[in-house]
Chains A and B, each alone.
Chain A
């Protein structure tokens, strides 16, 4: 696995939830992990909001100094540059669409020098990206904004509490077609453990279980 892992995609496709799960998984396997919250577009539901949880796993967080405050400032902290000198793995959680990916573009040449994997996260149940061609178009915009071409697709298709085997399997077909259209490998498919058991999913390819960590604070 490369040292820098970029997670980007459409708004609300589940980038932050995937970033948190990936970071926790790697940390539990013994890696030193840092999450860099590069979302400067949306002040709600960012990985920087989960610093306390991540600390429990020994994960470092680089986030805006104004994260979860009333300051809607599209700024990144100077410590963002430490991603190039840190030990272990750095996961960059990028803001949605091309608008979110511009912030990443500023680091593109140094990231290319260091070597990276960039995973394009797709959710076939997310409005405006429900067809492979729509999903492919958004990645092209993201790549233009970030100057960092994707190296793989991660399928994160789910429908919250309505997630069932059909949703996952339809999602895999959608993601395979999207990946084919983009000439990229489909790296993994996620499934939310609390809504569906792995044994119920009849599909090939790598399955990665995720916990629902990013959610509103209403539910028990």
Chain B
């Protein structure tokens, strides 16, 4: 039987990656993510892996591109301003059909912003982690245990669909400590990567991993093939968790840390006889539209709760085809909303419905 231990979110992300077969970490320190890199620096040498602190965030992300192109599981991690610097390489990874894991432990922005927790990189993660026509897989854990579970899934799905995956966490989840359990799986068997540029040994043709295409037609057809893959992902890989949604008049929609606060607010509302529920998207891309569509058949309205200025609101509206009113409550700049603030908004919104 496996045993529970107390881990910080950042440490759990690192340990989970190692257990998922990642032996190559390239990073650069930034608050509030630094413990992840620090943990990797202690553990990687002990398991014969690579820990490398690069000269910059961009360099680290390009090292991930190189390692992944050679067929190994590789990852990098940072916090908001650092992720912006990595976006060039993420676009190259997507353009080269290379799997990789990128972790963003979000802090307040824009610019240098602050060091307190935030969810203000939702747009960046789900719409534009770089230039060009592409998407990446985005996972939003809400507990330290879920961080562990999603790291493994993110690596597997990145390999399956040959695309980058991101864990979108925040400073609070990265810094807080909770009990976690690692499933005893033994040595992880990783999938074959016949496309990898890892030496042909005169046994096969050269593999080329590249994002440059010499004719517009070749590039167009490749991008179109990629978007067919995205459609398949949207149809099969949506994930969300539901809490008291079935009979709810007001359905809160929240991910990550703000979902934890929203959960408490739903409990407070129920105590007052208000029928509130919560949908917590676990995949932010693909966005769990099916779950929201279903809830829209019975709910009177939706309240998006975020640690930003309302970046997820449009996705909620699109998911339900604007069939019900969608309200928003959020705090930003590094401020975490309180359950009471959210309850007040539920009451106000309920009065308007």
A binding-site residues for B, Cβ under 8 Å: 11-12, 42-45, 70, 72, 123, 125-128, 130, 158-162, 215-220
Q: Assuming A72-B31, A160-B178, A216-B176, is B6 touching A12 (CB within 8 A)?
A: yes
Closest to B30 in A: A72
20 contacts between A and B (CB under 8 A): A43-B31, A44-B175, A44-B176, A70-B108, A72-B31, A72-B115, A123-B6, A125-B5, A125-B6, A126-B5, A127-B6, A128-B42, A159-B6, A162-B179, A216-B172, A218-B263, A218-B264, A219-B260, A220-B267, A220-B268
Interface size range on B against A: 20 to 34
Contact A127 B32, beta carbon cutoff 8 Å: no
- Name the residue in A11, A72, A127 with the highest tally of chain B Cβ atoms < 10 Å from its Cβ: A127
Task: Determine the chain A residues whose CB is within 8 A of the CB of B336 once the complex forms.
Answer: 217
Find out whether the CB atom of B176 lies under 8 angstroms from the CB atom of A70: no
List, in ascending order, chain B residues with CB within 8 A of A160's CB. Answer: 6, 177-179
A41 nearest CB neighbor, chain B only: B34
CB distance from B23 to the nearest CB of A (A): 19
Complex formed: what's the CA distance from A44 to B5 in Å? Answer: 20
- Stretch of B7-15, B68-76, B234-242 at the chain-chain interface: B7-15
Minimum C-beta distance from B3 to chain A (A): 9
B339 touches A127 (CB 8 A): no
User: Interface majority SS on A: helix, strand, loop or mixed?
Assistant: loop
Chain B, 224-262, CB within 8 A of any chain A CB? 257, 260-261
B348 interface residue (CB < 8 Å to A): no
Q: Distance in Å from the Cβ of A216 to the closest Cβ of chain B?
A: 5
Interface string of B139-178 (1 = CB under 8 A from A): 0000000000000000000000000000000011001111
Q: In the bound complex, do residue A12 and residue B339 qualify as a contact, i.e. CB atoms below 8 Å apart?
A: no
Complex-state Cα separation, A220 to B342, whole angstroms: 13
The docked-state distance in angstroms from the alpha carbon of A140 to that of B4 is 26
In this complex, what residue of A is CB-closest to B172? A216
* CB < 8 Å neighbour of B32 from A44, A126, A215: A44
Q: How far is the CB of B181 from chain A (nearest CB, A)?
A: 10
Which of A43, A123, A125, A216 is the one whose CB lies under 8 Å from B260? Answer: A216
Kindly list chain A residues whose C-beta atoms are within 8 Å of the C-beta of B108: 70
- B116 at the A interface (CB under 8 A): yes
The residue on B at minimum CB distance from A217 is B336
Q: How far is the CB of A164 from chain B (nearest CB, A)?
A: 11
The 8 closest A-B pairs by CB, nearest first: A70-B114, A218-B260, A44-B175, A127-B5, A216-B176, A126-B6, A12-B177, A220-B264
Is there contact, CB below 8 Å, between A44 and B260? no
- Most chain-A Cβ atoms within 10 A of its Cβ — which of B6, B35, B334? B6
Contact with A along B48-69 (1 / 0, CB 8 A): 0000000000000000000000
Contact status of A127 and B15, CB under 8 A, knowing A11-B8, A218-B260: yes
Enumerate chain B residues within 8 angstroms of A128, measured Cβ to Cβ.
42
Q: Check if B6 sits within 8 Å of A43, measured CB to CB.
A: no
